[in-house]
Amino acid sequence: MKNKILVANWKMNLSPDEEISLLKEVANLFKNNKKNIPDLEIIICPSFLALKQAKEVIKELPNFHLGAQNCFWEDKGAYTGEISPLYLKQIGIEFIILGHSERRTYLGEANEMINKKVRACLKNDLCPIICVGETFEEQQEGKRDYTIMHQTSTALEGLQVDESKRILIAYEPVWVIGRGKAVEPEQAEYANRVIQQTAIDCLPLDFVKQKMSFLYGGSIDEENVVSFKEQKTIDGFLVGGASLNPKEFFGIVLKM
């Protein structure tokens, strides 16, 4: 059985000091409620500036892991302002969010760039969390399936995988991110099946079944998480806004 997964994406919402205080609050909730916590992997993705200090805070929390919100596709060199996957690995980072819609929209991150970043992550034994999802216009024009199949297949193109690697894909319909209203759980389940089938078209079946997990992201909160959790193909969640409130985030944890 695959682990259940909960990813907290803090985006650029907090200062590094605020991120560390938030992480300490979350850590305390875990330490004080050990008995009630379901078995799951928690992946906290603060800003780059807080990663090293965050590593110290999570040291004694076995289910906790750290993720970065992006990386570059080369390990080192003359790439001003970029962040190396190799050096992220060296400071103890295990996961990297790639292709988030905010980066696709504001920074022009294209599918081909995301593919190069996925390769760089796998080469460095980092687990990519690839975000895919349609915009409101694409949804209205009936292009959801095409969009998520295209984004998934280009991200996974030409990858060399073996059982030492892992890949996570999060279905994140762009039009419900940060809106306070998610899609219907059945729609997320359908989209995740499309994504899973696309992954099977690109990669060995055993790898997809055993080493890939499929998440949903977009306005998940303490109230709606249970109805999504019941869906068969959804292995976990990528949570933005609700992960900034320690009680709400912990509330989601308890319902998983």
Structure tokens at 148: 């998520």
Q: Which is nearer to ligand PGA, 134 or 172 (CB)?
A: 172
Catalytic hit among 19, 134, 138, 172: 172
Tell the residue number behind the tokens 């938030």, with chain if given. 22
Catalytic hit among 19, 100, 109, 189: 100
Q: Is 172 a catalytic residue?
A: yes
Angle between helices 16-32 and 246-255 (to 10 degrees): 40
Ordered alpha helix ranges (H), the chain = 16-32, 51-58, 85-90, 101-107, 111-123, 136-140, 144-156, 185-202, 205-211, 225-229, 246-255
The alpha carbon of 218 is separated from its chain's Cα centroid by a whole number of angstroms, namely 11
CB of 242 to ligand PGA, least distance (A): 6
Neighbour count for residue 75 (Cβ, 10 Å): 15
Q: Which is nearer to ligand PGA, 126 or 242 (CB)?
A: 242
CB of 100 to ligand PGA, least distance (A): 6
Q: Which is nearer to ligand PGA, 195 or 242 (CB)?
A: 242
Q: Which is nearer to ligand PGA, 67 or 241 (CB)?
A: 241
Q: If you count DSSP H runs as helices and E runs as strands, how many of each does the chain have, helices first?
A: 11, 8
Contact residues for ligand PGA (CB under 6 A)? 9, 172, 177-178, 217-220, 238-242
Residues 6+ apart with CB under 8 A from 128: 95, 96, 98, 117, 118, 121, 122, 167, 168
Residue pair 127/183 in contact by the 8 Å Cβ criterion:
no
User: Closest-CB residue for ligand PGA?
Assistant: 240
CB of 97 to ligand PGA, least distance (A): 8
Between strands 167-171 and 236-239, the pairing is unpaired
Q: Which is nearer to ligand PGA, 156 or 183 (CB)?
A: 183
Q: Which amino acid appears at position 204 of this protein?
A: P
CB of 218 to ligand PGA, least distance (A): 5
Show the CA angle centred on residue 143, arms to residues 142 and 146, nearest 5°: 140
CB of 219 to ligand PGA, least distance (A): 4
Please give the positions annotated as active site.
100, 172
